[in-house]
Amino acid sequence: MRAAFCRGPETVVVEEVERPTPGPDDVVVAVRSCGICGTDLHWYHDTMMIPVVCPGHEIAGEVAEVGSAVRRLREGDRVALEGISSCGVCRSCAAGNYHLCSSLGVVGITIPGGFAERIRLPARHCFQIPSGIDFPTAALSEPIGVAVHGTRISGLSIGQRVVVLGAGTIGLAAVIAARSGGAGEILVTARRPQQRAAALALGADRVFDDADESGLREAVQESPIDLVLETVGGAADTLETAVHVCRPGGTICVLGVYTKPIMFPSLFVVAKELRLQGSLVYNRAGSRADFEIVQDLLSRDGKRIGETLVTHRFPLADIAAAFRTADDKGTGSIKVTVTADALR
């Protein structure tokens, strides 16, 4: 089968590899869509570790093969995949915190990912997608799951005022999560016109240019900000902005992946008694997994979400062009997806 690999900075190629076979608890999924993530662009530019395996972790497809012990899924089921692989038996996994598994595998970084015709993953990390939802929209389950998880563990309450820093895919997913979680007002910072339009379409009340920090600070004087969702990461100074706009006693949730050391405004964190919450992917809190909540969101509003976020679609053979498009926001791109155009 065909799978993509990064063979150097800004060099993504398609190669022939052996087709995976399922273990007893696994399924093999025929990939129908895999989105290019902001994290993918980090390794694309060599600002974080280049994966030695096939990358890609925003995945949706059809179950092609089922392991002997799998009972919940059948061939032909349409599924969205979590971008991790846990052991399923350790203390963290038993508690539903499988994202903290000591044997955690990261899809597309440490285990083969979704820029391929097929992928193998434990069946417990696969979730059936609602009828009527196309695969590129279903693949958005992964970034929306990240935002749902961050919003849940941050303790968002109905009516609270939220700032989302950044309007990439995770930032826009955070708008979806905050709105569905009962936020009273959502303010967003965005850099590109398409991001501004998407944020408003998905439920943001106001959008500020990311360079207009004075405008944002003026707006937050009107009423306290209870929760800041930071989604930029990289080498940005967004944590400092978050500390300044958050009310005393408020919460900052860090969703962005920082690739360089950043200044930490500890004096203001202490003086304002801020809660700084890190957030890693998704888990099962209580009786419901974050991905199950995402499927509910997609069943209600998936068409609008997909039409707003998915801007470009490329076949696997053109993955190099897909990455160039995702990297160049001047193309109007938000979410670029890759599809294995012909299974062999």
* Exposed e or buried b per residue across 152-182, where buried means at least 16 C-beta atoms within 10 angstroms of its C-beta: bbbebeeebbbbbbbbbbbbbbbbbbbbbbe
C-beta of residue 165 within 8 angstroms of C-beta of residue 195: no
C-beta of residue 53 within 8 angstroms of C-beta of residue 109: yes
Q: Name the DSSP class of 36.
A: P
Listed in sequence order, the DSSP H helices in the chain are 38-44, 91-94, 135-138, 141-153, 169-180, 193-201, 213-220, 238-245, 266-271, 290-309, 319-327
Q: Is 42 a catalytic residue?
A: yes
Which entry of 39, 169, 231, 308 is annotated as an active-site residue?
Answer: 39
C-beta of residue 59 within 8 angstroms of C-beta of residue 29: yes
Which entry of 11, 42, 125, 137 is annotated as an active-site residue?
Answer: 42
Residue 269 — φ and ψ, nearest 5°?
-60, -45
Residue 134 — φ and ψ, nearest 5°?
-75, 165
CA dist., res. 93 & res. 103, Å (int): 10
C-beta of residue 25 within 8 angstroms of C-beta of residue 67: yes
Burial class (CB in 10 A: 0-12, 13-18, 19+), 248: exposed
Q: Is 125 a catalytic residue?
A: no
C-beta of residue 7 within 8 angstroms of C-beta of residue 13: yes
Residue with tokens 């890759």: 338
Phi-psi region of 270 (alpha: psi -120 to 50; beta: other; left: phi over 0): alpha
Nearest to residue 240, comparing CAs of 265, 216, 218, 217? 265
DSSP assignment string, 87-120: -SSSHHHHTT-GGG-TT-EEBTTTB--SSBSEEE
* Angle, alpha carbons 185-233-246 (nearest 5°): 35
Provide the annotated active-site residues.
39, 42
